[in-house]
A and B are shown apart, each in its own frame.
Chain A
């Protein structure tokens, strides 16, 4: 017989702890533990299905396609968000719902707020000119900036690990929605003012570039590099909110002086209140702010070449 499946020396049992919480009836979350017979090449989803079908537990979990297409089976597995249809089972697993989303029950979270936010971003292509006929003239090169972004399956793993979304009421859209917005913003066929949506509606400058979203993306989308940074680049030019203003001022300083002055950046972007003045005085005293440099500084020696580089990059 031809090459058959590999012999395995895998563990015989999988131990799984499942998060249980029904907000309608339970006072607090709890965990239930089960042992599931291991089968070679078992995925996490097989373990959950086994518990559900054979160990008589009606726990709530959601999956729709089972093959990394729908993005609805993401859960925290030993603390990391994973698609349970796309990862091998571990001998020892604790399975919990995704963070940063309202819990429905047990392992199921609600996607409602995400969908409502998506609707506010005018999430399909908006054209100024009448669409003519298929196929419209377009090349793979034209569409290259969106190549990774188009593969997003909206599993919300990135959303669940974003530290900014853990803060209440920031207005920040979060990485998943920014991927959707960046795809439109970089699509040569789209004519809408996505820059303004990115800064005002999606608050892209609230992103702290911690790269947590990229770390957990099952589709391996370079979210910061391909989505968030391009949106920031688009939005900083005309954006009026603090994040855009700060980015613009930063660049202007570098362009004119060849380097950044923290005090000037703060002065121009935050303005001066009583608190800032007190802080500034302390920083002057400790030598962290050089008053002469702040008000009468000369461009640094390499400023001219930096300006030229900058101008070249703008072209």
Chain B
């Protein structure tokens, strides 16, 4: 009985050890290759508990997630118009065929990335050469990334890698060109500023001129109307005078002359040299009727 118990115990332990040696776990993030004495016998692409033959088989794990290759330094490319641009890009890739991947690059990520970088760069160089800077920056950026991705993907599949995406980050001018871009921007702003100031001046002048014109017109119209009114007054007055004075024009002449004489001689500075023989002085000489004449 006791012996039996011991046997069971030993058996269990041995079984556990065997299970421990043959079972292995493939994580959600991984894929695995099962080797048998260096030869690939199986690829485990799904996660979970897996088994292998102990001792003769061993397992290597690979990352099944999307990996990023992001070059540290921007690469220099030449566009169709022979301009230099600095381009920063990143590549999203994933191990697609683990077996192929292992065979081609020995499962070494760094080697795979070097390979990818070369492919991406040559594809980019080719594409940039066909496009202008404007195309790269704006119009055909999307198309360019798509083309490079497809080209790279085609090549990468040979090493068991799938290129999901190639994206441009920075597309910049080298420092020398940047400086001239700044100068151009500055000149452009200066132009805008001058234009704004000049139009401001012009608009101001326009408003002032318009005001002056309005003033002139208003004053002239007022003068016209004023003269009209004055004329009306004069006409009215003339009519009145004519109506009144026309009744006895001879008397009017006399009356008016008397008035005019009064107006003419009213200052001390008007000196009259008179002859006492004039009819006005007839009584000055004598009190006779009929005067001294």
Question: Do A and B come together as binding partners?
Answer: no
